[in-house]
Amino acid sequence: MQKQIDKDLIKLCVAQDRKAQRQLYELLLPYLRAIANRYLRDTSYAKDVLQESFIKIFKHLHTYDFDKAPIKKWAAKITINNSFNYNKRLIGIPKDEFDVDQHETAINPAVMQNWSDEDLLLFLKQMPDGYFEVFNLSVIEGYAHDEIAKLLNISEALSRKRLSRARNWFKKKEQEQPDLKTRLNSSSFPLN
């Protein structure tokens, strides 16, 4: 079995080669599962999101340009969008009514470095939806505000506002709940 995704594998997939499609699926699945689990508010829908994502990936694979972006990034955008759509269906459109100070506070880097990925994810999933999405895309994925605006269908200004509020929310929770890390470590929240 092929260990990496190259142009030949993509071409075979576009030509409807079932073995190549299976290989692509198996190579992308762990990465896209992690993306879905990170963005979904309720990870029990991860299988549904992944199924819809792979349907879209294979349906539109002929439009993918290997020279513009890595296939993982292209497939991740599809999965992120599907995750956002599920979140919206389940909990509605995020509201910007969460009241915090308007000045941006820095997140203590030691907090993020000392937490496991699972603990940090549990903590961040407490964040209001709009803030969670922008924080995840900006801080964790490294997207710029113009890219976030396109993905979420919002303005760049709203993306910046939500990131600022997310950082304030993070700092406020950190101050309010000094025992949060201990509680999260003993949590039985399902991550898969």
- CB under 8 Å to 27, separation ≥6 — which residues? 2, 3, 4, 5
CATH code: domain of residue 165 = 1.10.10
Across the chain, the runs of DSSP E, i.e. the strands, are none
Q: Where are the alpha helices (DSSP H) in 61-108?
A: 71-91
Look at residue 48 in the predicted model and tell me its pLDDT: 92
Note whether 13 and 82 are same-domain residues: yes
Between residues 167 and 183, which one has the greater pLDDT?
A: 167
Q: Is 143 domain-assigned?
A: yes
116: left (phi over 0), alpha (psi -120 to 50) or beta: beta
Q: Which of 62, 91, 120 is the C-terminal boundary of a domain?
A: 91
Q: Is 60 domain-assigned?
A: yes
pTM of the model: 0.62
In total, how many domains does the chain have? Answer: 2
Note whether 118 and 180 are same-domain residues: yes
Look at residue 12 in the predicted model and tell me its pLDDT: 92
In this structure, what token pair is assigned to residue 52? 């819809």
102 has a pLDDT exceeding 80: no
Look at residue 148 in the predicted model and tell me its pLDDT: 86
53 has a pLDDT exceeding 90: yes
Please say whether the beta carbons of 72 and 27 come within 8 A: no
